[in-house]
């Protein structure tokens, strides 16, 4: 397992380089001058710094290498310096000074480093998307397991109906529907997410929980509908296998047969869905963040596209691609943990 993990980590770097090249070339092929949409109020010296950061006027391969250097060398250096000097987790390590003042990836819209803005918006997305996905998984797994075990029962029929509705109805419609019912008509929850709220008391904690209910519900319903169907299908495939009949013939309790033997083998394909669903949810939360006015990465990407902020769009797109590669690796590693018969070495 260790050898496989190291081998995959080594292969991850060229994979990310190819992905970054594809993203860069797609934006490079976009028609028009990248600086044409910059407002006239931007000072000339700022425009010159933007051109210098992007390497405009230089060959495409030079500009690509400059962006790769900024993203893979400059930004990690700044992060390591911050972790060793100011973070609580690694603040005990000796302070480093890896950052030498090199030019960073600059946003055209805000005239500030792109990664600084991403770090500011990331907690809002992680709270909403993370909680929505976590609740979705926790709801989906028991529903899928019990629906498969009680196939064609009333619980299975109701679960199938709700799953189909949750999977078929788009999140923007569900979000608007919840706002109309629970915010406008009943007044139970706020319709707009207050990103400036700081949790420092019990009242502020309850206020934070109230404003998270609707966006988390929208994401949890959609994710639970998808994952529960995969869980049910995988459980049904394994419940009819020979090893299940053998386990029952040996006198094992039904609880052990289902929750130990069948569930462990059924989780193999479901792990892939859960792991690869994380970056998909982060990208799909763009719509949910727009509906509930959550000032996260999704709204940041929409604003960058509208303002033609190519450095921001390029960086966020690559971050989403990075999440897919990382969680794909995590899923492969979890295979060997869940099913010991799977060997990579």
The pLDDT tens digits for 185-195 are 887 887 777 77
- Only one residue has tokens 């319709």, namely 191
pLDDT of residue 54: 59
pLDDT digits (tens, 9 = 90+) for 212-265: 888 888 888 888 888 888 888 888 888 888 888 888 888 888 788 888 788 877
Contact 298, 307 (CB under 8 A): no
CA 26 to chain centre: 22
Token pair of 316 as six digits: 């966020």
Dist CA 115 CA 100 (whole Å): 17
pLDDT of residue 303: 77
Domains of the chain: 19-106 (no CATH), 114-338 (1.10.3720.10)
pLDDT of residue 195: 72
Q: Residue ranges of the alpha helices (H) in the chain?
A: 2-28, 44-54, 60-69, 75-85, 114-149, 154-168, 171-178, 202-239, 242-249, 254-256, 263-292, 297-306, 310-338
pLDDT of residue 55: 57
pLDDT digits (tens, 9 = 90+) for 137-157: 888 888 888 888 888 888 888
Is the model's pTM score more than 0.75?
A: no
Contact 318, 326 (CB under 8 A): no
pLDDT of residue 297: 78
Contact 211, 280 (CB under 8 A): no
pLDDT of residue 88: 55
Dist CA 119 CA 135 (whole Å): 24
Contacts of 178 (CB under 8 A, 6+ apart): 214, 217, 218
Low-confidence residues of the chain: pLDDT under 70: 1-2, 4, 30-40, 50-57, 86-95, 108, 280, 282-285, 336, 338-345
């Amino acid at each position: 397992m260790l050898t496989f993990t190291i081998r995959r980590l080594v292969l991850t770097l060229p994979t990310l380089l190819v992905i970054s090249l594809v993203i860069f070339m797609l934006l490079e092929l976009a028609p028009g001058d990248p600086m044409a949409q910059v407002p006239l109020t931007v000072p000339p010296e700022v425009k010159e710094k933007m051109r210098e950061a992007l390497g405009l006027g230089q060959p495409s391969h030079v500009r690509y290498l400059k962006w790769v250097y900024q993203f893979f060398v400059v930004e990690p250096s700044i992060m390591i310096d911050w972790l060793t000097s100011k973070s609580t987790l690694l603040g005990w390590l000796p302070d480093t000074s890896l950052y030498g003042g090199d030019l960073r990836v600059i946003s055209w819209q805000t005239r500030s480093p792109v990664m600084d803005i991403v770090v500011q918006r990331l907690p809002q997305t992680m709270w909403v998307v993370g909680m929505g996905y976590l609740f979705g998984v926790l709801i989906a797994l028991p529903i899928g397991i019990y629906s498969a075990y009680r196939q064609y029962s009333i619980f299975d029929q109701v679960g199938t109906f709700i799953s189909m509705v949750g999977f078929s109805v788009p999140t923007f419609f569900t979000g608007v529907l919840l706002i109309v019912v629970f915010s406008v008509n009943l007044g139970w929850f706020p319709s707009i997410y207050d990103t400036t709220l700081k949790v420092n008391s019990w009242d502020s904690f309850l206020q934070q929980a109230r404003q998270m209910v609707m966006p988390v519900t929208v994401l949890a319903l959609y994710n639970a509908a998808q994952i529960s169907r995969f869980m049910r299908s995988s459980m049904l495939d394994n419940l009819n296998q020979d090893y299940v009949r053998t386990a029952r013939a040996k006198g094992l309790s039904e609880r052990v047969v289902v929750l130990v033997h069948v569930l462990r083998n059924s989780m193999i394909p479901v792990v892939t869905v859960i792991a690869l669903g994380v970056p998909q949810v982060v990208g799909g939360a763009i719509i949910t963040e727009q509906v509930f006015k959550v000032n996260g990465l999704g709204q940041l990407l929409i604003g960058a596209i509208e303002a033609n902020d190519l450095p921001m769009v390029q960086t966020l797109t690559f971050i989403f691609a990075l999440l897919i590669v990382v969680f794909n690796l995590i899923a492969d590693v979890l295979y060997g943990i869940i099913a010991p018969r799977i060997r990579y070495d």
